[in-house]
Every structure is written in structure tokens, then in C-alpha cells.
Amino acid sequence: MHDPIRREGFDTYLDRIRAFTRDRLIPNEPRLEELGAIPEEIVQEMRDIGLFGISIPENYGGLGFGMEQQVLLTIAFTRASAVYRSRFSTTIGLCSQSILDFGTEEQRRRWLPGMAAGTITGAFALTEPEAGSDAGNVRTTAIRDGAHYVVNGSKRYITNAPEAGVFVLMARTDPSVPGAAGVSAFAVPAETPGIRVGPVPRMMGQAGSHATEVFFEDCRVPADALLGGREGNGLKAALRGINHARTHVAATCVGQAIRLIDEALAHASQRRQFGEPLAAFQSIQNMLADSRAETAAAKALVIDCARAFDRGPPIPYADIACAKYFASEMVCRVADRAVQVFGGAGYMEENAVARLYRDVRLFRIFEGASQIQQQQIARDMLRNGAGL
């Protein structure tokens, strides 16, 4: 279904995404906030323009773009609310990449074409009350019973769970084996009896992104749902999806920072104090300059990381951690400066910077908190040296 997009070439497609962001996504942000959900016609437009398929290979119906191309696209469409991205991010990253690299060919054929078309949304069911950063502490169990596994447990903060067509589930198949070795991955149809999705919680930001609890209660999952047909590979599959997603999160932080700078620059140029535009004051110029410099540095880092990803294997885990850590911390500083440039107006809901300020705070937490990224970077340095 994406043949016309592939024929037009990447640069033309990137321009289309920039125009789509400018003309459709940004103007509909107030409506998104009011509804607490992305309007369905906008979701359909995202499907039609190919956003659900950017990371999925062409032979499974996707656009087959490399990581550098995906990063450039992400920077373009995340100049709009990051909530739009959240609607397809779990499909293009966490779920599709785990299935692509660790699934059987039958599993790839079953799930990836629908994901690429946007008719199947993937939700990544890893996090639990006692297992977030400590992913090896998964307590949800999947016990073999003949031709099925019986799953019991709960997951939390599962983005797109209410919209999911498939859960990529991490569960402990061997309770006698502690840590990662006892965890396996499954591709579980969302309509499987025994799955219950909790209510959508209210969050500090990202209103319209649905991250809920999911409960598995004597849920009988066919044995052929075991990803790759092998037990014990769950966290390896999870890390494949997570590192893809972390690279996209870093790019998202760059896109959000660019939008914040645009908002702050426009306000500083138009707002007058003491007979002059705010932009004439050195203190304002310093905040704008710092924001641009840090955003440029993050953009260069994430693109360099994406190029290393494309050259792989191996996947540049430490570089991905650097990019995610720096970019997520950077965008929060840029958001704070943007609110400061706006002054009192920046605290008012009528201005986008107030919403963006809340939205970007999440990026320092999910897909591995900043402290986890620091730990991974330092461990790699202690094993392999500075790596520079």
C-alpha cells in the first residue's frame, strides 16, 4: 500500500511529513487536548501517509527506512505534540522491532504487515510495579500447559494498551530461574480471553496518550505465540525494541526542542518591554542562544548514533544511552527557558509552551530514566574505555 511513497523518494517524503506536521498536526493540538485523544480522522491520515510503517521492511509492507531516515522523520513530526507520535511509536519501535529480530517468519507475516498499515497497534507489556528499570525482576508468569501457556500477572504504564491489537508480552516462563534467563517474550493477540485493560489514568502531561494497566488472569496463550519459539530470550527481544525506541525518543526531544525555540523566538520578537522587543535584551538572547546550541548538539549526537545503528551490527548501546540521556535532559532545559522567555504568559494554558513544558518532562523517565542511562554509559566506559 506504500508503493507511491517509496517511488517518490525519501527527501520528497520528508517534505510531505513537514507539511503534514505544519498543516494538520500542529493546528489540531488544541482539539487533541480537549478530547483527551487524537481525533480518529487524524489517526487515519497518519496511517495513510505511512507513519506506522517507517521502520518496517518493505517485504512486510513497510517503508523500510534506515535509522537515520527514521530520526529525520521523527524530528520533523515531533515539532507537533509528542502525543501524536505516541500513537504509533510502540508499533514502529518496541513491538515491530522485537518481532522482526526475534520472531519466527510466521510471526512476522502475521503481525508486521498490519502494523505497517496501521491496522494493528502494538503495545509493549514489560513494566510492572516491581519491574521497570529492573526488567529482570518480571513477576508475570507464563506456565506451559500442553499446547498453551497460562499467563497471570499485571503490567503498568503500557502505552496504547486500549488501542492494542497485539501485546508483546514479557513473562517468566521458568519461575525457578531468577533474572533475565527465566523471562520469555510472546506476541499475544489483544482479544485473547483473560486480558483486561485498566482505565486511562490522568497524567501530568501528554494528555491523549493512553498508558494504562493491563491484567492477565488465567490467560491461555497458544504456544506458537512464544516469540521465536524459544524460551529465555525475552529480555534480549525487549532490548532490541528498547534501543530502537530510545533512539527515537532522543530524536523526539530534538523535535520538541525546535518547536519550543520557535515559540520562544516568536514571542521574544513580538513582545515589547521598556519600548523594545524582548529579543533586544541580552538576558533573553542568552537563553535563546543556549537553547539553540544545546539542541544542535543533541541533533548531531542522535544523527551520529543513528548512522552507527545503520552501520551495525552491533547496535551501539552506549551511544544510544548517551543520545537519549543528553537529549532528554536538554529538552527540559529548553522548555524551562521557553517558559521563562514568555514570563507570566508561559504559565497560561493558552500558550503551547505550558503544555510542552509538561509533556517533555516524561522523556527523562521512560525508556530508561536518566539515571539508568548514566549507569549504562559508565559501565560501558569501565569495560571498554572512553569510546571517543
Q: Catalytic pick from 128, 163, 213, 367? A: 367
123 in helix, strand or coil? strand
Q: Please give the Cα distance from 88 to 252 (Å, whole number).
A: 13
Check: CB of residue 65 under 8 Å from CB of residue 248.
no
Q: Please give the Cα distance from 91 to 161 (Å, whole number).
A: 11
Check: CB of residue 167 under 8 Å from CB of residue 125.
yes
174 in helix, strand or coil? coil
Calculate the CA dihedral of residues 324, 325, 330, 333 and round it to 10 degrees: 130
| Cell numbers that stand for 160 in this block | 496504547
| Cell numbers that stand for 161 in this block | 494498551
Active site annotation includes 367:
yes
Check: CB of residue 138 under 8 Å from CB of residue 188.
no
> Would you tell me how many other CB atoms lie within 10 Å of the CB of residue 291?
25
Q: Residue holding cell 518532562?
A: 361
The two beta strands, 122-125 and 166-172, are parallel
Q: Catalytic residues, which ones?
A: 367
